[in-house]
Amino acid sequence: MSERQHHPEIEADRRADRRTWVYFAGFLFASFLVLSMSDQHDMQRAGAAHPEMAWLSQATSHLVILAMTPFITFMLSRFPLSDWRRSLPVHAGAVVVFSLVHILAMVALRKALSPVFIGVPYEFGLADPSTWLYEFRKDVLSYALITAIFAMNRLAEQRGLEAKAAQKEASERHRLTLKSGGRTYFVDASEIVWVRAASNYVEVVTPGRTYLARATLTELEKLLETAGGHHVRVHRSHLVNLDRVTEIRPTGEGDVTLTLETGDDVPGSRRYRERYAGAA
């Protein structure tokens, strides 16, 4: 096999797709049961001659959608949503293909199976444009939903891959991997003076620069521990490098203020007193 086929990110997408396909198949089966029972009930109330047709109709529709899922994942691989300006027109065309195949395949199955299981021929009304439009609207939603489910699971798998790479970098090279502004920075753990949580980001302060990285304080704390840094949590929203603390001043009620080599003051909570007491 080529090197491309063994690329970690491609393998991660494949793992995510296999796992998602199993979940999605279970979801489709549940959808089939619920919609079939609902449609049969509605047909019985309306006095339809063959309400059991609801089961055949839903079964053929769901089976064709399941069979076409690889087509959607293929399109997602070739035209990822991250590059939506280029991908959106292509996926719009793919929806048309998806709907066309879905309609024709399920109608063909119903025509073949209805005389066998229901005892009557099946008529769909392909000559009526409104029938195509009705099915197309549903297919657009199905395509969008399937694409979103697989894309989100791929993203989760890729983030897990990145987390493992960051852990390896911290363990072997004692530096952190920080993603900021579309770039990746590698910062020696010993250079990090303090860190502050900022909503969905963290501010990582070094003597020469401050990085705004997308991560949680807990994630960064674990990476710093792996990297062998002397960093501890001194507040629910602050980490400090104890080697860079120059002064600790009490502020009352057990809380303190830690002054660092950069001249910055960081709050210290009595809840974390045992962690920073050694720097005093």
Mean pLDDT, residues 106-135: 93
Residue 227 structure tokens: 């990297």
Residue 193: which residues within 8 A CB-CB, separation 6 or more?
205, 206, 207, 240, 241, 244, 260, 261, 262, 264
Asked if residue 4 has pLDDT above 80, the reply is: no
Cα separation, 15 vs 18, in Å, equals: 5
The 10s digit of each residue's pLDDT in 38-53 is 999 999 999 998 999 9
Give CA 41 to chain center in angstroms. 37
**Domain ranges within the chain, ordered by starting residue:** 4-163, 174-279
The 10s digit of each residue's pLDDT in 58-104 is 999 999 999 999 999 999 999 998 888 899 999 999 999 999 999 99
The pLDDT value recorded for residue 275 is 86
The 10s digit of each residue's pLDDT in 194-239 is 999 988 899 999 998 999 998 899 999 999 999 998 999 999 999 9
Give CA 107 to chain center in angstroms. 34
How far lies 193's CA from each of 122, 177, 226, 238, in Å? 73, 16, 16, 11
Residue 216 structure tokens: 């949680």
Cα separation, 76 vs 200, in Å, equals: 27
174-279: CATH architecture: Beta Barrel (2.40)
